[in-house]
Amino acid sequence: MSQQLTQKVDVELPAQSVIPRARPALRWLMLAVGLVVVLALPWFVYPPVAMDIAAWALFAISVDLLLGYTGLLSFGHAAFWGASAYSTGLIAIKLGMPFPVAVVGGAVVAMLLAIPTGYLAVRRTGIYFAMVTLAFAQMLYFLANMWGDVTGGENGLQGIPKAFFGVELVETDAFYFYYAAIPIILIGVFIAWRIVNSPFGRVLVAIRDNPARARALGYDVERYKIMVFVLSAGLAGLAGGVFSISHGFASLQELVWTTSGKVVLVTVLGGIGTLWGGPIGAAVVVLLEDRLASSGFNGIGIITGTIFIVIVLAFRHGIWGTARNGLTSWLNRRRIKTGQRL
Amino acid sequence: MTAFIQYTLQGLSTGGFYALSALGLAVIFGVLGVVNFSHGACYMLGAVAATVLLDTLGLGFWAALPLVTLLMFVFGVLMERLLVRWLLKLDPLYNFLLTFGITLVLVDLVKRRYGVSSLPYQVPAGLEGRIDLGSLSLSRYQLFVSVFSVLVCLAVWMLLTKTRIGMIVRASTEDAERSRALGINVGRWVTPVFGFGIALAGLAGVLAAPFRAVNADMGSNFIIVLFAVVVIGGLGSILGAVVAGFLVGLVEAFGQAYADRFSQVLIFVLMALVVLIRPAGLFGKEEAA
């Protein structure tokens, strides 16, 4: 069943790996622009909101690693984001660790949690995978709710410190905190980029496109899927940890299935199978929700749900995918006109 | 021993309700290959519609039961015609995501209109109170719901296996290509079947109105439990959905008795065990790798 999805992607997307390599200059330019935007963001956007965008961007990339590059839809990624949000908070509060250490600790917890979950979930593909991951996330939600002594139950885990080696500016000012925390997000994105552009990433794409053939070539498909699932959980964990430090609390909201749904929405909105899609989707959704919330509109789901319906019906390549397809076909037409070789 | 029978009764009566609620999900998946995420939202709409009918038109439970079911059928037909239809040929994940979007819209629309607090709804006249059998005790309404649910499940099963329509629908599910070759208009049955599945969700919602809190979020956790039910039973298997519905009802009843707050988690533990031992579910067919 997942073959239908990927066949469609193959037909409609101009071969992904060919275009960027054909224009390395463009690629470096995009990267430079991206970095400038990341560094300039807290000047233009309220710094805590900018931090939210960055965290959600990495969260979406972690989902895309599964959805876009391996063909697996995880509908329970809130489990890893939320587990790390709580673990990071606990490490920061109980052990008084500086926040980068706490975030890494949270990511490790998320990865450990992903091993048994992944082991069970990869036994099924397609829609079954989505439902199994969703159910496990819900199970974790109930456990966190019950384990109130540690997680704070309904009240959440409050008073998470932003300890940063005694640098007071970072610990108290959200603007400086952004610059202290953004390297963690960028390292996460870099890891995702390394995974995608490695032999391991190539095998993942092969599994997405034709699992039977990948198996016939001698690759242990299930093992690869578990590995990418755990890696993805680690990235979601990094993002969730930064999020909880930035907010100073972790709540059950981080574990509930609507968060899993929201990150899939962000990923698909931005465009799956592209590392740029996640950040773009995150910027759109976080800024939109921030605007709607500050204007006092209390039906955010009506807007985001409608956008999602339109995207799924008409723009399945998402913002980035649609824009890229339009741009490349325009460039190609122009080059044919000017007589350049394709 | 009495306690054991008491919990079994309790579990069977909740189980009947779960079976009915999961039935629509299984029917829609079986025929269209769509996992309808909005099933919980449609269940919520059914319950809210029942309370609204009572408040505005003074229509009671017995009038709401057929009326809401019919309305939800129309709603389902519209949903299929306007939205779901366009994605049927693509990977089923797209319709899963589409119906997730529909859920967000429906839940927040109801929240905006009716708020977040629960809307009151009375148990219909004649079904109040409890029945006492010696030391056993069961709510009269609960008993009604479970008997009614079992009857509906039976009726749907009969409809699918003993009638010509059912035969055509099953043949279309089994092998659409060959059914077409035999002169069956497969596409014609897609819309009514989807509407039927949504109508079942609405019916479950009306039944739930007197004994569950009616609010915009009532379907949010319920849908996840229903997913667990159909994963345990085997997606698309009607018998599987019914059996798993009862199984989950029993697990929940005994869980509440002996493991207190762990009862919600037990359902997912059961699901994990089933996925571990029989990945395709109790009554599901193995998928091709």
- pLDDT tens for A289-308 read 899 888 888 888 899 899 99
CA distance B49 to B84: 23
Beta strand ranges found along chain A (DSSP E): 157-158, 249-250
Nearest residue in chain A measured CA to CA from B225: A135
pLDDT of B286 reads: 59
pLDDT of B207 reads: 92
Residues comprising chain B, all counted: 289
Q: What is the mean pLDDT of residues B208-222?
A: 88
Please report residues of A whose CB lies closer than 8 A to that of B108: 299-302, 305
pLDDT of B50 reads: 92
Region class of A218: left (phi > 0), else alpha (psi between -120 and 50), else beta: left
- pLDDT tens for A252-278 read 888 988 899 999 999 999 998 888 899
Which long-range contacts (C-beta less than 8 Å, at least 24 apart) are formed by A100-103? A100/A164, A100/A181, A100/A184, A102/A241, A102/A245, A103/A184, A103/A238, A103/A241, A103/A242, A103/A245
- Percent of chain A's residues with pLDDT above 70: 92
CB atoms near residue B27 (< 10 Å): 25
Q: List phi, psi (to 5°) of A271.
A: 120, 120
Q: What is the mean pLDDT of residues A332-341?
A: 72
Structure tokens belonging to residue A61: 């990339």
pLDDT of B287 reads: 52
Residue B133: in which H helix or E strand, if any?
strand B130-133
Contacts of B134 (CB under 8 A, 6+ apart): B2
Q: Is B263 exposed, middle or buried (0-12, 13-18, 19+ CB in 10 A)?
A: middle
Q: Give B133→chain A minimum CA distance, Å.
A: 35
- pLDDT tens for A53-88 read 999 999 999 999 999 899 899 999 999 999 999 999
Higher pLDDT, A40 or B264: A40
What angle, rounded to 10 degrees, do the helices at B92-114 and A257-270 form? Answer: 120
pLDDT at B288 over 90: no
CA distance A270 to A320: 6
CA distance B272 to B257: 21
A211-A216-A222 Cα angle (round to 5): 50
Nearest to B232 by CA among B194, B269, B265: B269
pLDDT of A339 reads: 66
Please give the DSSP secondary-structure letter assigned to residue A199: H
Candidates A74, A138, A255, A269, partner chain B, best to mutate (most B CBs within 10 A): A138
B190-A2-A277 Cα angle (round to 5): 110
Q: Is A287 exposed, middle or buried (0-12, 13-18, 19+ CB in 10 A)?
A: middle
pLDDT of B160 reads: 84
pLDDT of A340 reads: 60
- pLDDT tens for B133-164 read 777 777 888 888 888 998 999 998 888 888 88
Nearest to B96 by CA among A320, A74, A8, A256: A74
Please report residues of A whose CB lies closer than 8 A to that of B35: 127, 130-131
Which CA distances in Å does B118 have to A31, A165, B44, B210, B220?
Answer: 51, 49, 12, 12, 14
Which CA distances in Å does A10 have to A22, A56, B93?
Answer: 18, 27, 17
pLDDT at B53 over 60: yes
- Percent of chain A's residues with pLDDT above 90: 42
pLDDT of A116 reads: 92
Nearest residue in chain A measured CA to CA from B276: A120
Residues 196-255 on B with a CB inside 8 Å of A are: 220-221, 224, 227-228, 230-231, 235
- Average pLDDT score over chain A: 85
CA distance A331 to A206: 29
Residue A25: in which H helix or E strand, if any?
helix A24-44
CA distance A267 to A276: 10
Torsion of CA B236, B239, B242, B245, to 10 degrees: -60
A138–B268 C-beta distance less than 8 A: yes
Candidates B224, B231, B251, partner chain A, best to mutate (most A CBs within 10 A): B224
Residue A117: in which H helix or E strand, if any?
helix A99-121
Q: Is B177 exposed, middle or buried (0-12, 13-18, 19+ CB in 10 A)?
A: exposed
B105–A309 C-beta distance less than 8 A: yes
pLDDT of A238 reads: 95
Domains of chain B by residue range: 17-112+137-218
- The full DSSP string for A129-170 is HHHHHHHHHHHHHHHHHH-HHHH-GGG-EE------TT-HHH
CA distance A29 to A27: 5
pLDDT of A20 reads: 43
Please give the DSSP secondary-structure letter assigned to residue B213: -
Tokens 């589409």 correspond to what residue? B98
Residues 244-273 on B with a CB inside 8 Å of A are: 261-262, 264-265, 268-269, 271-272
Among the residue ranges A6-10, A242-246, A315-319, B82-86, the one predicted with the least confidence is: A6-10
pLDDT of A56 reads: 95
The predicted complex's ipTM stands at: 0.86
Nearest to B230 by CA among B85, B16, B66, B26: B26
- The full DSSP string for A223-265 is HHHHHHHHHHHHHHHHHHHHHHHHHTEE-GGGTSHHHHHHHHH
C-alpha distance across the termini of chain A, in Å: 34
Confidence of residue A341 (pLDDT cuts 50, 70, 90): low
Nearest Cβ partner for B276 among A75, A120, A298: A120
pLDDT of A16 reads: 45
Confidence of residue B77 (pLDDT cuts 50, 70, 90): very high
- Average pLDDT score over chain B: 86
CB atoms near residue B95 (< 10 Å): 25
pLDDT at A34 over 50: yes
Q: Give B32→chain A minimum CA distance, Å.
A: 13
Q: Give A302→chain B minimum CA distance, Å.
A: 4
* CB-based burial, B214-238: b 16+ in 10 Å, e otherwise: bbbebbbbbbbbbbbbbbbbbbbbb
pLDDT of A3 reads: 37
From the options 1.10.10, 1.10.1060, 1.10.3470, 1.10.150, give the CATH code of A2-337. 1.10.3470
Structure tokens belonging to residue B54: 């009572």
Q: What is the mean pLDDT of residues A334-340?
A: 72
pLDDT of A230 reads: 96
pLDDT of B1 reads: 74
